[in-house]
């Protein structure tokens, strides 16, 4: 899905990846694989104005995770990429 969606992103555009799981295999490992195979993209952690502090959710640069017992919502992994070329 990421590879197909990335073909539609213009230079400077944003691609968001979100999965309703907290497993590393479906979250940050997928994001790392995508970045390795797609050098036209870079991890991006610029989220703008949010009603919460994204630093408290950060796993690594450009990747965030929510936990039900900590954040009062479902467990998600979210990654944000910017097309650089």
The residues that are catalytic are 20
Alpha-carbon distance of 32 to 38, in angstroms, equals 10
Contact 56, 9 (CB under 8 A): no
In angstroms, the CA 23 to CA 44 distance is 21
């Amino acid at each position: 899905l990421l590879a197909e969606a990335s073909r539609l992103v213009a230079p400077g555009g944003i691609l968001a990846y979100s999965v309703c799981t907290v497993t590393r295999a479906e979250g940050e490992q997928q994001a790392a694989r995508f970045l390795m195979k797609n050098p036209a993209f870079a991890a991006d952690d610029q989220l703008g104005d949010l009603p919460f502090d994204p630093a408290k959710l950060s796993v690594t640069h450009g990747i965030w995770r929510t936990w039900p017992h900590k954040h009062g919502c479902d467990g998600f992994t979210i990654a944000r990429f910017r097309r650089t070329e």
